[in-house]
Amino acid sequence: MGKKKVLSEDILRKLVLPAEGDILGIAVKMLGYDRILVKCQDGKERLCRIRGKMKRRVWIREGDVVLVSPWDFQHDKRGDIFWRYTRAQAEMLRRKGKISI
Protein backbone atom coordinates (compact mmCIF):
# COMPACT_ATOMS: atom_id res chain seq x y z
CA MET A 1 0.00 0.00 0.00
CA GLY A 2 1.49 3.31 -1.10
CA LYS A 3 1.06 6.90 -0.04
CA LYS A 4 -2.15 8.70 -0.83
CA LYS A 5 -1.63 11.47 -3.36
CA VAL A 6 -2.85 14.84 -2.09
CA LEU A 7 -4.79 16.93 -4.58
CA SER A 8 -5.91 20.52 -4.25
CA GLU A 9 -9.54 21.17 -3.30
CA ASP A 10 -10.64 22.55 -6.68
CA ILE A 11 -9.50 19.43 -8.57
CA LEU A 12 -11.30 16.97 -6.28
CA ARG A 13 -14.90 17.37 -7.43
CA LYS A 14 -16.99 18.61 -10.31
CA LEU A 15 -19.34 21.52 -9.74
CA VAL A 16 -22.87 20.30 -8.96
CA LEU A 17 -25.58 22.83 -9.76
CA PRO A 18 -29.00 22.83 -8.05
CA ALA A 19 -31.69 20.88 -9.90
CA GLU A 20 -35.39 21.73 -9.87
CA GLY A 21 -36.65 21.71 -6.29
CA ASP A 22 -33.19 22.09 -4.73
CA ILE A 23 -32.07 25.26 -2.96
CA LEU A 24 -28.65 26.72 -2.20
CA GLY A 25 -28.05 27.70 1.41
CA ILE A 26 -25.45 28.66 3.98
CA ALA A 27 -24.95 26.70 7.20
CA VAL A 28 -25.71 29.13 10.03
CA LYS A 29 -25.58 27.07 13.22
CA MET A 30 -24.60 23.54 14.18
CA LEU A 31 -27.31 22.01 16.37
CA GLY A 32 -25.72 18.69 17.21
CA TYR A 33 -25.79 15.12 15.90
CA ASP A 34 -26.71 15.51 12.21
CA ARG A 35 -28.81 18.70 12.33
CA ILE A 36 -27.83 22.12 11.02
CA LEU A 37 -29.74 25.40 10.76
CA VAL A 38 -29.45 26.60 7.14
CA LYS A 39 -30.37 30.00 5.69
CA CYS A 40 -31.70 29.29 2.20
CA GLN A 41 -31.83 31.48 -0.89
CA ASP A 42 -35.60 31.79 -0.73
CA GLY A 43 -35.21 33.73 2.53
CA LYS A 44 -36.30 30.94 4.89
CA GLU A 45 -34.30 29.26 7.61
CA ARG A 46 -34.65 25.49 7.58
CA LEU A 47 -33.71 22.86 10.11
CA CYS A 48 -31.78 20.44 7.92
CA ARG A 49 -30.25 17.06 8.53
CA ILE A 50 -27.19 15.60 6.86
CA ARG A 51 -28.08 12.59 4.74
CA GLY A 52 -26.73 9.28 5.98
CA LYS A 53 -24.56 8.85 2.90
CA MET A 54 -22.65 12.04 3.77
CA LYS A 55 -22.72 11.80 7.55
CA ARG A 56 -19.22 10.48 8.23
CA ARG A 57 -17.60 11.31 4.89
CA VAL A 58 -18.15 15.06 4.58
CA TRP A 59 -17.71 17.52 7.44
CA ILE A 60 -19.86 20.65 7.34
CA ARG A 61 -18.92 23.81 9.24
CA GLU A 62 -20.73 27.09 9.85
CA GLY A 63 -20.48 29.32 6.79
CA ASP A 64 -20.27 26.47 4.26
CA VAL A 65 -22.40 26.65 1.12
CA VAL A 66 -24.65 23.58 0.84
CA LEU A 67 -27.39 22.18 -1.38
CA VAL A 68 -30.70 21.57 0.40
CA SER A 69 -33.56 19.37 -0.71
CA PRO A 70 -36.74 20.51 1.11
CA TRP A 71 -38.98 17.79 2.49
CA ASP A 72 -42.32 17.07 0.78
CA PHE A 73 -44.15 17.97 3.97
CA GLN A 74 -42.97 20.91 6.10
CA HIS A 75 -41.05 22.17 3.05
CA ASP A 76 -40.82 25.67 4.58
CA LYS A 77 -39.20 24.42 7.80
CA ARG A 78 -37.18 21.27 7.10
CA GLY A 79 -34.89 19.71 4.52
CA ASP A 80 -31.96 17.42 3.78
CA ILE A 81 -28.40 18.50 3.03
CA PHE A 82 -27.03 16.38 0.21
CA TRP A 83 -24.02 18.36 -1.07
CA ARG A 84 -21.34 20.65 0.37
CA TYR A 85 -19.38 22.99 -1.88
CA THR A 86 -15.66 23.58 -1.35
CA ARG A 87 -14.48 27.16 -0.88
CA ALA A 88 -13.24 27.37 -4.48
CA GLN A 89 -16.57 26.06 -5.80
CA ALA A 90 -18.51 28.53 -3.62
CA GLU A 91 -16.43 31.41 -5.00
CA MET A 92 -17.13 30.19 -8.54
CA LEU A 93 -20.89 30.14 -7.80
CA ARG A 94 -20.67 33.70 -6.42
CA ARG A 95 -18.88 34.91 -9.55
CA LYS A 96 -21.53 33.27 -11.76
CA GLY A 97 -24.29 34.94 -9.73
CA LYS A 98 -25.92 31.71 -8.51
CA ILE A 99 -25.60 32.65 -4.81
CA SER A 100 -27.52 35.73 -3.69
CA ILE A 101 -27.33 35.28 0.08
pLDDT digits (tens, 9 = 90+) for 40-94: 999 999 999 998 888 888 889 999 999 999 999 988 899 999 999 999 899 988 8
Question: Which contiguous run of DSSP H or E holds residue 87?
Answer: helix 87-96
Given a cut of 80, is residue 3 above it in pLDDT?
no
Non-local CB neighbours of 4 within 8 Å, separated by 6+ positions: none
* The three-state (H, E, C) secondary structure of 17-36, written as one string: CCCCCCEEEEEEEEEECCEE
Angle, vertex CA 36, rays to CA 69 and CA 94, nearest 5: 65
Contact between 68 and 48 (Cβ < 8 Å):
yes
| Number of domains into which the chain is organized | 1
Domain-located, residue 6? no
Domain-located, residue 65? yes
Residue 44: give the domain boundaries.
21-96
Task: Please report, for the domain that includes residue 91, its CATH number.
Answer: 2.40.50.140
Give 73: exposed, middle or buried? Use CB within 10 Å, 0-12, 13-18, 19+: exposed
AA identity, residue 46: R
Domain-located, residue 88? yes
Domain-located, residue 53? yes
Instruction: Report pLDDT digits (tens) over 24-42.
Output: 999 999 998 889 999 999 9
